[in-house]
Structure 1
Amino acid sequence: MNSAADSRPARRLRGPHWAGRNYSLLTAAAVVTNLGSHGALIAAAFAVLETGGDGGDVGLVAAARTLPLVLFLLIGGAVADRLPRHRVMVAANSLNCVSQGLFAVLVLTGEPRLWQMMLLTALGGTGQAFFSPAAEGMLMSSVDGEQASRAFAVFRMAMQGAAVGGAALGGAMVAVIGPGWVLAADAAAFAVAGAMRSFLDVGHIPPREPGGGLLADLREGWQEFAGRPWLWGIVVQFSIANAVVGAADAVYGPLVARDHLGGAGPWGLALGFFGAGTVAGALLMTRWKPRRLLLAGTLCVFPLALPSAALAVPVPVGVLCAVMFLTGVTLEVFGVSWMTALHQEIPENKLSRVSAYDWFGSVALVPLATALAGPAENAFGRTQALWGCAVSVVVVTALVLCVPEVRTLRRRTREVTARPPAGLPDGSPDAGLPDGSPDAGPRKGSADPERPVGGHG
């Protein structure tokens, strides 16, 4: 045990004593992908609008990305717990690079058809389905329990700091040179990040024991997931919250920006302020360690309703930016608390599978919501649809507080939360981990840059 622990400093890059080589590489790669992906989200919406599409078409393209994400997530989680996670991540980044590159070529060379944009976006969603569980498990295994909360906060601060520049720069680039070049920049970012992730070291992760096959792996992950009421309760909460907020961000936001705020530039600025808020929230969480992790975090989800309400009014750009900043701060408090709770409760060898169930629940309704956003606007009006999004977030967040574990789960001491050092199997007497604990995942201000909602995550 001591020899494995003592060998770690030799593999570390420069940085804090808890920032190992994998953590540093994961952080740097997340910064790169966030710079590209946040601008690309804006670019994709305006690429559809510039070809004569309407809100329904924007929703169909957004749904095309999320549908394969839902279909392949569980398989992606099982694969990530069987194969070296960094290889899964690199392969997924390669697919994202190719799909975004082709999307950029279509936009730059002519008028892409709706089915072409949907197909390429679907390929990107497929890559994301395999990337997300692998990335979640890789990040969770890269930090020690004692410093997990601070490590997650710093990781997210760096990631969201890149989002500030990516969203603002992306919106400005769409307005000045068009969405095609922004999509091309995102493809290049995936290529660079994939190359960085290829250097991740998985030598400290014990080899997986041969199991009973893919279905057995999925069943084992489900047992871990379903046995935690606080875990599946919050996933159900975000299944609804992600759906309605995703529809508001992907469909209604660009439309309100076009009709009332002045176009892509102001909308990109507002998204940049959200990113700035997440940076501030992550900075706060490097110092603040709430004892009741999920209670503090869940109370901070209520402001997620504010952006939809602000778009419903609609408020001036300055007010919208302030609302987005506040939302970013509070949602990041939830995000760090959530990741810390997962790191504390879930054994390393099940991280990716249970993360996949979390991802699956969190994005399952997003394709339906984004596809129905246009028809809902036609049936009820854009303002009423946005108010419905805001009310839905408040209701589901209030309901999840009825789960006792959400109110009572506490941060544990160093001896309990510390993960086993490299080479020490889970469940050994020195591991300091509770027997049979499970995992969860991103979208709630996730560590993943391609989360469906601008926060979880």
Structure 2
Amino acid sequence: MSVKESLFVLKDRDFGWFFASRFVNMAGSSMSHVALAFAVLEVTDSASALGYVIAAHTIPMVVFLLIGGVIADRFPRRLVLQVSNVASAATQAAAATLVITGHAEIWHLVVLEAVNGTTMAMAFPAMQGMVPQLVPKKDLQPANLLLSMTRSTLTILGPSVAAALVVGVGAGWALAVDSLAWLLAALFLLPVRIPSRSADAEKTSAIEDLRAGWTYFRTTTWLWVVVVAFMILNAMQSGGQQVLGPAYAKSSSIGVEGWGLANSALAAGMLVMTIVLMRGTIRRPLRAGMFGIMAFSLPFFVLAFWPETVPLVLAMAIAGAGIEVFSLGWSLAMQENVPEEMLSRAYSYDALGSFIAMPVGQLLYGPLAGWFGARPVFLVSGVLYVLVCLATLAVPSVVRLQRVEQPATEGTPV
């Protein structure tokens, strides 16, 4: 199946409008991190202040994820996503106005990002649960790949566009563009039609729904095993890629430019693998995904043994390809095997478990490098990364999970 042939899923009216909504939403989000960072730095030069603003977004997003999952399983997901998008548009518009007019203070941005993070906690489970409601199971792979291809492309282009806006018209106007993207995303969801839920699904209380979600999560072995694995993997990935990696690159021959190229290579690797996967079929999604994500150990080993720009760029490109294999495998495993009425709650438990340890990695990697040196920390991280992936692959329910229904396309099984 070629890229052109995979576009047939866009012929479905409802998925086409959902795709348009996700496109503009991802376009704004790909620019928002750069825009927000420089907006904060326009108010103050303090790196600590930037950390406060980012944490103000992350903490409520993690705290309220489970509630977001319950809401998305109890109410129409399109409505939940629309309300969240409008709220995010309002917070970014308020931040943009304050920055443009010169009235912004750090506490303003902290409060606004806290609200924005809370709305994201509501939006994420609803967004993840919508795809299997819009396309039949046989079309889940091309639908997810199209969304992933868009995300990868915008991840490459978005930061550069945001930087150009910051330099050209200022960080406040870059935030305004992000606000507009959120609003358009909400508007594009208006024509989307989703089958109504059964009235019986709304008779339980929110607490009972939360308990039912937890029961499903803890009794579904492949689900909680992979989430626990990513609790560890994401802690290492965030600590190594977001904290220690840039600091080490800046003081080594890699440099800031080399680190930027490496991160662009990561997104490029994801995009290339998306195109490759359009020509094949994943039959055991978690087995393929865990082997794929193991590739993220390569940048750790390169930084430990061969800290130069060219090998790091190559390693990050391979890592990006592996991330894309896991991303598709996980989406297929969840969307085909988790009951539709439980899907948003399952995604919320997944996100909570996967994200909760990320601040630990971000806080620990700096001190660990100070105590033992950066290169030994990278080496141990690479070895541990591989061991966690192999341990996950040793669980029968993970490695044996198969597709519920194969796509009606020809290709090479993965």
> Pick from 67, 90, 96: which aligns with 2:59?
67
Q: Give the 5 Å matches for 1:158-173.
A: 158-173=150-165
Q: How big is the shift at 1:95?
A: 2.2
Q: Which runs of 5+ in 2 are unaligned?
A: 1-5, 409-414
> Pick from 52, 58, 73: which aligns with 2:45?
52
Which residue is equivalent to 1:139?
Answer: 131
Paired amino acid for 2:400: T
Number of positions where the alignment pairs a residue of Structure 1 with one of Structure 2: 401
Which residue is equivalent to 2:359?
Answer: 367
Paired amino acid for 1:349: E
Closer/same/farther in 2, CA of residues 404 and 410 from structure 1, 3 Å limit: same
Which residue is equivalent to 2:113?
Answer: 121
Q: Structure 1: how far apart are the matches of 2:98 and 2:67?
A: 30
Q: Structure 1: how far apart are the matches of 2:226 and 2:397?
A: 11
Which residue is equivalent to 1:298?
Answer: 290
Q: Structure 1: how far apart are the matches of 2:54 and 2:381?
A: 17
> Pick from 184, 196, 201: which aligns with 2:176?
184
Which range moves more in the overlay, 356-365 or 370-379? Answer: 370-379
Q: Which has the higher helix share?
A: 2
1:26-49 CA distance string (max 9 Å, x none):
222222122221222234445556
Which residue is equivalent to 1:233?
Answer: 225
Q: Give the 5 Å matches for 1:49-448.
A: 51-54=44-47, 58-110=50-102, 114-174=106-166, 179-203=171-195, 205-207=197-199, 209-252=201-244, 255=247, 269-308=261-300, 315=307, 317-372=309-364, 389-413=381-405
Instruction: Tell me how large the CA RMSD over aligned residues is.
Output: 3.3
What secondary structure is seen at the aligned counterpart in 2 of 1:209? helix
Q: Structure 2: how far apart are the matches of 1:44 and 1:374?
A: 24
Which range moves more in the overlay, 155-164 or 265-274? Answer: 265-274
Q: How big is the shift at 1:217?
A: 0.5
Closer/same/farther in 2, CA of residues 120 and 373 from structure 1, 3 Å limit: farther
Q: Structure 2: how far apart are the matches of 1:375 and 1:300?
A: 30
Closer/same/farther in 2, CA of residues 179 and 231 from structure 1, 3 Å limit: same
Which residue is equivalent to 1:433?
Answer: none
- Contact kept, 8 Å, 1:171 with 1:269, in 2: the verdict is no
Closer/same/farther in 2, CA of residues 405 and 58 from structure 1, 3 Å limit: farther
Q: Structure 2: how far apart are the matches of 1:288 and 1:229?
A: 27
What secondary structure is seen at the aligned counterpart in 2 of 1:137? helix
Closer/same/farther in 2, CA of residues 403 and 77 from structure 1, 3 Å limit: same
Paired amino acid for 1:53: S
Q: Structure 2: how far apart are the matches of 1:313 and 1:175?
A: 37
- Contact kept, 8 Å, 2:133 with 2:194, in 1: the verdict is no
Q: Structure 1: how far apart are the matches of 2:382 and 2:192?
A: 40
TM (norm. structure 2) is 0.84
Q: How big is the shift at 1:149?
A: 1.7
Q: Give the 5 Å matches for 1:3-22.
A: 16=8, 19-22=11-14
Q: How big is the shift at 1:76?
A: 0.6
Q: Structure 1: how far apart are the matches of 2:201 and 2:26?
A: 35
Q: How big is the shift at 1:244?
A: 2.8
Paired amino acid for 1:295: R
1:138-187 CA distance string (max 9 Å, x none):
11211111222222122211232222221333345456665444333222
Which range moves more in the overlay, 356-365 or 375-384? Answer: 375-384
Q: How big is the shift at 1:232?
A: 0.6
Q: Which runs of 5+ in 1 are unaligned?
A: 1-13, 419-457
Which range moves more in the overlay, 149-158 or 171-180? Answer: 171-180
Q: How big is the shift at 1:254?
A: 5.3
Q: State percent identity of aligned pairs.
A: 33
Closer/same/farther in 2, CA of residues 165 and 121 from structure 1, 3 Å limit: same
Q: Structure 2: how far apart are the matches of 1:362 and 1:342?
A: 15
- Contact kept, 8 Å, 2:284 with 2:399, in 1: the verdict is yes
- Contact kept, 8 Å, 1:300 with 1:330, in 2: the verdict is yes
Paired amino acid for 2:113: T
What secondary structure is seen at the aligned counterpart in 1 of 2:195? coil
